[in-house]
Amino acid sequence: MTAAAATSVTAAAILRPAAGKLMRRAALASLVVSILLVLLKAIAYLVTDSVAMLSALADSGLDVFTSAINLVAVHQALQPADEEHRFGHGKAEPLAGLAQGAFIAGSATFLVIAAINRFLEPRTVEHGAVAIAVMVFSIAAASALVMFQRLVVARTKSVAISADRIHYFGDVVTNVAVLAAILLATQFHLALADPIVGLGVAAFLAWNAWNVFHQSYDQLMDRELPDGERDRIKAIVMRHADVLNMHDLRTRAAGISTFIQLHIELDPAISLTRAHEVSDVVEADILSSFPNAEVIIHQDPAGVETPPELERT
């Protein structure tokens, strides 16, 4: 292995434990915040009997469950590859994402039912000051968590933390809407604002559930990386003077790990040793841009037709 390749692999080895540490912190922070908000919103709901507050409570209750799943999934996904799981355990993350999406969708359905019932039997929201104080604190706590999760996702590309961030961003929007509903119901006596906001929150949760499902499904089905990232890989490979062409680029992601396979075409006259050196440099260049990747490069002689596939017996 060339010096450049060795340096890049070392950098990747250093980054992965750091990324794992960040992911574990984000998952634990999510669980702690969700438990705290459930306790506060449960008290506020018992005091106010507000459907909007119930929607916020249901969402935070769901957060406790999904955050616990996330914590387990992140721990599992970060386990190193073993003899039975040669490609690692990264798909634990999108599996957790599917579970999150299912429970988010269930929460949305529950809120629709509660809101419809409140339309049929309107009630006055009581003790608005308590609810307002709880919601202001909830907005601040959820916003701080989302900013931390955004930093973690930017550094690790974690699907589980990304799904959690989307959910908690939805919580910020939800909490703002609930705060508005409580203000309208208590200060301006607009009772219908309470169930209307409940329905709005349900629609927003359903949209979030679809996004989480979509992202998790793509990883479980080994969908190719986005075109922009594939183009970046091609540009990295082709900027090397010894690489005459490339083909059969295959990519996929599993949790924080990315898998990249490709063929490079080289001068047929160069030695095997030189071909190996070129491959190492290309691999190092790819790893510098995709530090959590596993790269497999096959060297082909340029201008030589690919032999026909051997007949299988």
Side-chain-side CA neighbours of 151 within 13 Å: the count stands at: 10
- Per residue in 18-76, pLDDT (tens digit) is 777 787 788 788 888 889 988 988 888 888 877 778 777 877 777 787 777 767 766 66
Block residue for tokens 């990324």: 19
Indicate the residue type of 177. A
Separation CA 65–CA 115 (nearest Å): 23
Three-class SS state of 95: helix
Block residue for tokens 């990386």: 225
**Which superfamily does 227-301 belong to?**
Cation efflux protein, cytoplasmic domain (3.30.70.1350)
- How many Å separate Cα 205 from the centre of its chain? 16
As annotated, the residues of the chain forming the CATH 3.30.70.1350 domain(s) are 227-301
Three-class SS state of 1: coil
pLDDT confidence tier of residue 86, bands split at 50, 70 and 90 = low
Separation CA 92–CA 72 (nearest Å): 9
Q: What is the pLDDT of residue 182?
A: 80
Burial status of residue 189 (CB atoms within 10 A of its CB: 0-12, 13-18, 19 or more):
exposed
Q: What is the pLDDT of residue 5?
A: 39
| Joined tokens for residue 39 | 């306790």
The whole-model pTM stands at 0.54
As annotated, the residues of the chain forming the CATH 1.20.1510.10 domain(s) are 3-220
* 257-266, strands of its sheet edge to edge: 245-254, 257-266, 293-301
- List, in order, residues 6 or more apart from 11 with CB less than 8 Å away: 287, 288, 291
Pairing of strands 245-254, 293-301: unpaired
Cβ neighbours, 10 Å, residue 75: 15
Separation CA 57–CA 52 (nearest Å): 9
Torsion-angle region of 214 (φ positive above 0: left; ψ -120 to 50: alpha; else: beta): alpha
- Per residue in 227-286, pLDDT (tens digit) is 899 999 999 999 999 999 999 899 888 766 788 999 999 999 899 899 999 999 999 999
Three-class SS state of 262: strand
| Joined tokens for residue 229 | 């990232």
Separation CA 182–CA 193 (nearest Å): 8
Q: What is the pLDDT of residue 1?
A: 40
Exposure string of 104-113, with b = 16+ CB inside 10 Å and e = fewer, is: bbebbebbbe
Cα-based distances in Å from 28 to 10, 33, 75, 254 = 28, 9, 11, 21
Indicate the residue type of 292. N
For the domain made up of 3-220, the CATH class stated in words is mainly alpha
Is residue 313 over pLDDT 50?
A: no
